[in-house]
Amino acid sequence: MSNESSWQDYALLFDMDGVLISLKARWINPIEEIISKIKPDFNRDAISKQSSSLLLVHGGRTNLLMLQGIIEVCDVGGLNFIQKLRVLARLSFVLIRRKKFPIIPLKGSIATLKKLKEMGFRMALVTSASRFTIRRLKKDFPGIHDKFQCIVTRSDVRFTKPYPDQLLIALNKMGVVKSKAAMVGDFTSDVFAGKNAGIKTIGVLGEFPEINKVLLEGSNPDVILSDVTRIPEVVYQLFKT
């Protein structure tokens, strides 16, 4: 079942950060760099262990929740109130200038999307990122952007994942029934969005396997994979058995 006609009625919906591009490069490293300039002796080990989970919980949903996540990262790093304000001020300046937060594809992600497209899958990007980030993706990495028939950002809905709104919009635009679709994500909100939409779910451990494994197992996706490169190996089992 690997030829194009076998999968042309099926769809895979992808989260972006931590699945196709590096969450660490786009958010965690730049935030640590800002913190290091304000408190050089910050608790780097503590942040390394907890920042990914904090940003995964808060990131991309609303500006207020993202702010909460960054403040909690500062708490973990041992910053005082004044230092936190300085971090937020510098971060706001960096965001306005849009000079940091690079988009770095994860190893094998572009090749995997190409292979899945060749197999006949319809694909959508369902992300909590902004439209500005998607424009950057299109400019810098058309090999990712152009593989998707449909892209739904946080700007297109009132409620982002774990609500199913973005996923349902994507399925409707692609004309794919729920029984022939799966959501691919690295966090519980992706899995719960898939379940709430009534489709299958693929959990990806990605850059933070120790953290994500525990969280994803608790949300009980249909399949848990180390990364997206393994998706072509499991689609038959996922959809046909």
Domain termination site, one of 97, 127, 151: 97
Domain termination site, one of 72, 97, 122: 97
Distance CA 190, CA 195 (A): 9
Contacts for 39 with CB less than 8 Å, ≥ 6 apart: 77, 78, 79, 83
Domain that holds residue 79: 24-97
pTM recorded for the entire structure: 0.83
Give percent of the chain above pLDDT 90. Answer: 55
Tens-place pLDDT, residues 81-100:
999 888 888 877 766 555 56
Looking at the structure, tell me whether residues 45 and 138 fall in a common domain. Answer: no
DSSP reduced 3-state for 21: strand
Tens-place pLDDT, residues 169-195:
999 999 999 999 999 999 899 999 999
Looking at the structure, tell me whether residues 114 and 232 fall in a common domain. Answer: yes
Domain termination site, one of 57, 76, 97: 97
